[in-house]
Chain A
Amino acid sequence: MSSRARRQRILRDEDDEDDEYTQPSTSGTQRESKRIRQEDSSYNELDSQLTAEQTSQDLERKVNDTVRYALACEHRKQVIRKDDIARKVLTDRSRSFPAIFDKTQAKLRHLFGMELTELVSKEKSNPAKRAAANGKVVLSKTYVLRNILPEEQNDPQIIHHTDDEYQSTGLLYVILSLIFVNEQSMNDELLMSHLNRLRIPEESETFGDRARMLDGFVKQGYLQRQKLNAEVAQSDQPVFQYSWGPRAKAEVPEQNMVGLISSVYHVQGSELDRLQDSIYKAASIDT
């Protein structure tokens, strides 16, 4: 976009904003002003004034674009890649990423009570690379937009979720718990047999195509699916292993998962402590 077009857009946006607050009183005024806006010549005298402010305005615009991009990605539960922000949103300003990113975060927190959380990288299957990472958390340059308002504010009377969302979130949490207490990973076959037992067949009215739904969870970053090599799998058929995806790790703290699982048992006091200890053990987490 040329700088003139961009300026015009900024000016046009300011105009639109005015429309928000003023009731148009006579017919034709809207059309009239639209025609004036389209005339380039009326902005010529602004050219010289604008160059000085251009840099900071430009930066501000990129921050706002990044906010919008983050909201749009989150709307379809898609992970947000740093590369995509740089390429699709920042374009010629991609070197200003750190500054723009900080301002974007501040704006997301302020306006919506949300922030971008960087996802932990996939654990490297290659032992050499894992060694190189030296047990440190490897960040992935991908983000999800996370709600940072206190949990009790996520009240169904305030925040609307569709029935589909409730159903798929419910099932997702069941799958995450099953994987969690199975030492954090579970092969394909075992997961499918659990789902069969829960009467979630390959095709159902509620959840549709089961495989497609699992693909969706993988794509959204809630689940991670890895193909095991033939030696480990001890099978000539390809074997896939499911574990928590980076988004689940970012959104669901371990203690919440333990709390969720233990709540099913309705126990209290020392019995609850013992139960939670055994859940941590099943998840092979040292307490």
Chain B
Amino acid sequence: MATTETMNGQEQHPHEMTEYNGTHRLFMQSMLSHRILEESQAEVIYEKICDMLNADKADFGDFVAVINKEISDVDLALRRTVDEYNSSAIIALVNTRGDEVAQLATTYTANEIGFFKRVLELIVTADDEAFSLGSMAAIREGPKLKPAFSQRETEELLNKLVADKWLMRRRDGYYVLHMRSIIELQNYLKETFENEIHECLMCMEIVTVGERCSQGRCEVRLHTHCAAGYFPEQDNGSEIKCPTCGTTWARDNTIGTIRQ
């Protein structure tokens, strides 16, 4: 077990802060039960844990780093990123081994995984980078499979995928990828849909909700929140350009957003 030996004379930073202890264990149990959380919620949980165990509260980033150092052995990691849909900071417990989709096999049958893969494909390859799938279209897919799912079974399965945070039902009723899928299945998505999946030029994470360059052959995509940070306030209507090809950038040329 990798318990860090502390150097002598480090009065300023007691080693309890950098050593994996009861607070980390309980936080891991919490993350195993939640899988994905808004970072603000995760910090509230961390505070609650410190109160309960009468432990000093460390910087949250440092706390997460201590956990990651230990759990990487078992191919797990806490990954901090930004929610594409509402720009809030989130934290997720992810498998770092390449067999992500196989991990689903712990709670889904092979046929159910087959259906989920088909839904992923339809979402990712949707026309005009809509990254969404209408609910009727999703339900129609079940009966097409071999062996077929009845319409009712298909609806139940879709509900389960939503409850387990693999899919999300947008307010217009369309199915989109839940952030859990985007984070946990990123290698699968990148490898399977090389042409459709783009990484944000700013943060290098997968982008399914954001803005794109108006030049059709240019591959630049930006998350909504990354674009907001990159382009200065458009107070005087000054022209903004694509950081790569220089084409005039239209902020309303979006992908993965609700279409009129």
Q: Does the CB pair B74–A147 fall under 8 Å?
A: no
Interface residues of A in 77-129 (CB under 8 A from B): 106-107, 110-114
Main secondary structure of the interface of A (DSSP, over half): helix
Cβ distance B44 to chain A, nearest Cβ, rounded Å:
8
Residues of B within 8 A of A71 (CB): 32
A162 to B34 Cα, complex, angstroms: 10
A9 to B150 Cα, complex, angstroms: 40
Q: Is B106 an interface residue (CB 8 A)?
A: yes
A75 to B199 Cα, complex, angstroms: 32
Q: Does the CB pair B1–A107 fall under 8 Å?
A: yes
Residues of B within 8 A of A160 (CB): 30, 33-34
Q: Is B140 an interface residue (CB 8 A)?
A: no
How many chain B residues sit at the interface, stated as a range, is 35 or more
> Given that A13-B97, A112-B32 are known contacts, is A20 also in contact with B26, CB under 8 Å in the complex?
no
A60 to B72 Cα, complex, angstroms: 13
Q: Is A24 an interface residue (CB 8 A)?
A: yes
Residues of B within 8 A of A153 (CB): 26, 29, 52-53
Q: Does the CB pair B96–A17 fall under 8 Å?
A: yes
A110 to B29 Cα, complex, angstroms: 12
> Given that A106-B1, A155-B52, A160-B34 are known contacts, is A113 also in contact with B29, CB under 8 Å in the complex?
yes
Cβ distance A8 to chain B, nearest Cβ, rounded Å:
11
Identify the closest chain A residue to B30 (Cβ): A158
Q: Is A271 an interface residue (CB 8 A)?
A: no
Q: Does the CB pair B106–A158 fall under 8 Å?
A: no
Kindly list 15 other residue pairs between chains A and B, CB separation below 8 angstroms, not including A16-B96, A20-B77, A23-B204: A13-B75, A24-B204, A60-B73, A64-B73, A72-B103, A73-B106, A75-B107, A111-B71, A149-B22, A149-B26, A153-B26, A153-B52, A157-B45, A157-B48, A160-B33
Q: Which residues of B contact A (CB under 8 A)?
A: 1, 20, 22, 25-26, 28-30, 32-34, 45, 48-49, 52-53, 65, 68, 70-75, 77, 79, 96-98, 103, 106-107, 163, 199, 201, 203-204
List 21 A–B pairs whose Cβ atoms lie within 8 Å, in order of A's numbering. A13-B72, A13-B75, A20-B68, A20-B72, A21-B65, A21-B68, A23-B203, A64-B75, A67-B74, A72-B103, A72-B106, A73-B106, A110-B25, A110-B70, A111-B20, A147-B29, A153-B26, A153-B52, A153-B53, A158-B49, A159-B29
